Amino acid sequence: STEAKSNEKTAIPQLLEVLALQGCIVTIDAMGTQASIAQAIRRRGADYVLAVKDNQPTLAEAIRDFFACYQASPDKTPHTVFETVEKDHGRLEIRRCHAFDALQCLPRPEQWQDLKSFAVIESTRQVKGLQTTEYRCYISSLPADAQRLAQAIRAHWSVENQLHWCMDVAFADDQMRARTQYAAHNLAVLKQLVLNLFRLDPTGKKGGIKTRRLVASTSDTYRAVLLGLG
> Could you report the per-residue pLDDT of 119-165, keeping only the tens digit for each?
999 999 998 889 999 999 999 999 999 999 999 998 856 545 454 54
User: What residue spans define the domains of the chain?
Assistant: 21-146
pLDDT at 1: 38
pLDDT at 180: 60
**Burial class of residue 142, CB neighbours in 10 A (0-12, 13-18, 19+):** buried
| Proportion of the chain above pLDDT 70, given as a percent | 79
Q: What is the mean pLDDT of residues 104-113?
A: 97
- Higher pLDDT pick, 205 / 166: 205
Report the distance separating Cα 128 and Cα 92, nearest Å. 9
Q: What is the mean pLDDT of residues 27-45?
A: 92
- Look up the pTM and report it: 0.68
pLDDT at 10: 74
pLDDT at 165: 46
pLDDT tens per residue, range 75-107? 888 899 999 998 887 889 999 999 999 999 999
pLDDT at 177: 58
Instruction: Provide the Cα torsion 50, 55, 61, 64; round to 10°.
Output: 40
| Sheet arrangement for strand 117-127 | 25-28, 47-52, 130-140, 117-127, 91-100, 80-88
Report the distance separating Cα 177 and Cα 171, nearest Å. 12
